[in-house]
Structure 1
Amino acid sequence: MPAMHYQLRWPDASETTCYSPSLVIKDYFEPGAAYPLPDFLQRVREATQIASDRVQAKYGFACSAAAEQLRSIEHTAARFSQQPDARVQVIAFQE
């Protein structure tokens, strides 16, 4: 199963490199696009769940790295939850 990394830019201009166990993340985001925080979170949760489900189907267990990555993203996103105009930019995909 091809895994990939993707780079995010948060509302404070900090950047994070994230992991996905599947290329499905590319179906949910466009490189260079910035997403309102609630929309970004909905998309990343759905994509991460699908990626983890694919790992489950192939190997018989969910992807703990994907779950940990999602927890990390949600933790970072919480810092910006009170900013009504907060946007997260997907900078690039790295396969």
Structure 2
Amino acid sequence: MPEVRFTIRWPDGAEEKCYSPSTAIHRYLAAGETYPLADFVERARAGLNEASDRVAAKYGFACSAAMDQLALIEQVAKNQPSDGHVTCLTLL
């Protein structure tokens, strides 16, 4: 299953490298796009859940790395300004 690495910039300017176990994330995020914080979190949640589901369908178990990535995104988002924006810098 092809994995995807993507880099984001949080509203506070910090950049983070992220991981998806599947190309499913491409349906939810695009390189160069900026999203309102809440929208970004929802898109990341949908994409990473779909990616984990693809792993489960293929291997019989959910992808803990996708769920760990989602948990990290949700945790960092709580400490960002709610009216901030997240930019997806790369999606490879």
Q: Which residue of 2 aligns with 1:6?
A: 6
* Residue pairs, 1:46-65, within 5 angstroms: 46-65=46-65
Please give the TM-score of this superposition, normalised by the length of structure 1: 0.93
Where do 5+ consecutive residues of structure 1 fail to align?
Answer: none
Q: Does 1:77 align with 2:92?
A: no
Quote the RMSD (CA, aligned, Å): 0.8
Q: Which residue of 1 aligns with 2:38?
A: 38
Q: How many percent identity over aligned positions?
A: 48
Q: Does 1:93 align with 2:87?
A: no
Q: Which whole-Å CA distance do the structure 2 matches of 1:84 and 1:73 have between them?
A: 14
Please give the TM-score of this superposition, normalised by the length of structure 2: 0.96
Where do 5+ consecutive residues of structure 2 fail to align?
Answer: none
Count of paired positions: 92
Q: Which whole-Å CA distance do the structure 2 matches of 1:85 and 1:79 have between them?
A: 12
Flag as ranges the 4+ runs of structure 1 deviating above 4 A: none
Q: How far apart are residue 27 of structure 1 and its match?
A: 1.1
- Letter aligned with residue 90 of structure 1: C
Q: Which whole-Å CA distance do the structure 2 matches of 1:32 and 1:64 have between them?
A: 27
